[in-house]
Structure 1
Amino acid sequence: MRSDKYQHKKKRRKIRWSSIFLVLFLIVGAVMLYSYMQYRSGVSGSKEAADQNKQEYHFNGERDRNGLTNILLIGSDARGKETSRSDTIMIASYNPDTGSYKLTSIMRDSYVEIPGHGMNKINSAFAIGGPELLRQTIKENFDVNLQYYSIVDFEGFVRLIDEAFPEGIEVNVEKRMSENIGVTLEPGVQRLDGKHLLGYVRFRHDAVGDFGRVERQQKVIKEVGKEFASIQTLPKLPKLVGVVAPFINTNMDTGDILFMGKGLISKDNRNIDTMRIPVEGSFENQRVSGAGAVLAINVEENKRALEEFLTK
């Protein structure tokens, strides 16, 4: 009799656990289906406006010796034009052990050795040999291994901001801006949509030139990161990736992007540490025949500063 009761209880436990696993399986399946549908919805809304003839690049990326995931970010608005120079050069670093994010901006006029091509502005490396030559240039001058690259069309930035933040991003515009940015911005605190926010981060026609632009780019990226963390954005992440994916040429797969993006927006008060190359006091403004106005940098000093920033 006791044996019959034991067998009956054991059978009920098996049924209960089977039911739990079935429910979990259905939930996971529903989440995956929802994510896929949201991703496809984002892609379909952007595909027609994006460049459908993306240049295919060879990229001999290497893992970072310190365990970081380093991504070469290249901003460009010259879609399909292989000879365009990179308008924006950044290194995005993700530390999987600490879950921290760091962003380094490299001034495009930095005068460095480009492997096989002599001295030139660093942004010419992309025009000469695409992201691979730019990767080699950064490795040779600053000793940083880059595993991935992402070339971002600025239209993708506009669509991402408008999709994620329909009311815009709050920015304190420090002065009137209009020259060569496609919009006119008046000074003061205001919420900017994607088009006006892009104009803000691209403006450089003032006394501080590209230095001011880099500072604004980093400020906006940090503010966008905070906004992502402060709203219920996680359910929207698959669609947001779908919205921007057609405007990105990258060797990263969607799973990598989702994994790192999820970490950024799923934690409160997420901070993105930033730095700029060259660092203060490590460069001189010069004019070079054939290159024009350049930043003659102390390579060793900047190499040390970058290593300290990424590994601390």
Structure 2
Amino acid sequence: MNGLRRLLLLLGTILGGLAGSALPACAQTLRIVPTQPLTFGQVAPRQSRVIATGAAGAAVFTVQGPANASLVLTVTLPALLTGTSGAALQIGGWTGTVATGANGTPTSVVPVSNGDVAVTLDANGVGVLRIGATIQPTLATASGNYADPIIVVAREPSSSRQSLTAQSMVTASVLQPITVTAIPMSFPAVYSGTPATIAPEDVRALRVLLDGAPALSVDVTYESLPSALTLQGAGVALPIGTWRQRTGPDCSGSSGVALPGGTVSLALSPTSSANGRTAVCLGATVSPSPTQAPGVYTGTVTISVRYTGS
């Protein structure tokens, strides 16, 4: 009986000691994880591309640390993106948002460029930084792939201890410019009162050669197709109409009517020079009157060309 009493007393002493002491806490490590790089994708020269902070291509950094902690993020952004050949692509228009929690409401932060940004973590110790930007390659920008890093460092305001630096890349692929070569339409001798037609597959048709990045597509829009040709120096009109088109690298595609404001999408077929090529050929009919004045008549066809989706 005395032994049982001593055992109970001993257990009571141990339990009492545990009740009066604090269990060691596990400190949550401060981390910042680059979840998504800033990706512009393919960009055509002279075509501005904006990636907003809420867009799929925005840079995303997920911050992890103590629950409900207030942190400071030091952000360093590139002023230029470096190409594979050493060329440079200017980048700017930086925007940023922070959110408390993985799905928290984003709040704009200004400035985001090369400065400190405050973020508050949620009860799970999570916060999010998103970064967007703008690029606009010029005709002088070399085609190719461009990249440079965004660097973000997280720290607690009351501590000099910093997390490991997080780095995420900014990437863009600049397409080569579309080169347009026009071979004018040339009617043979036309007689008063007698219509004359040039088919789009005729060697005398208007031929527009388009060269660009291989395996991509372009949109060709007929901005202006003249309804009449004009006699040089006299202003006399010669009606022209029923514009027809054929497309493809050798203009062997199906024939169709071309209309002002109409758009046709064409694939750039690879060539032996590692470029892509397609073409638009236009034919038409002139209808001179019985009293049509003799001379040379001219007109202008205006088209616009751009990479599909750019």
TM-score, reference length from structure 2: 0.21
Structure number having the greater strand percentage: 2
Compare CA radii of gyration and give the structure with the larger one.
2
Structure number having the greater helix percentage: 1
Higher relative contact order at CA 8 Å, sep ≥6: structure 1 or structure 2? Answer: 1
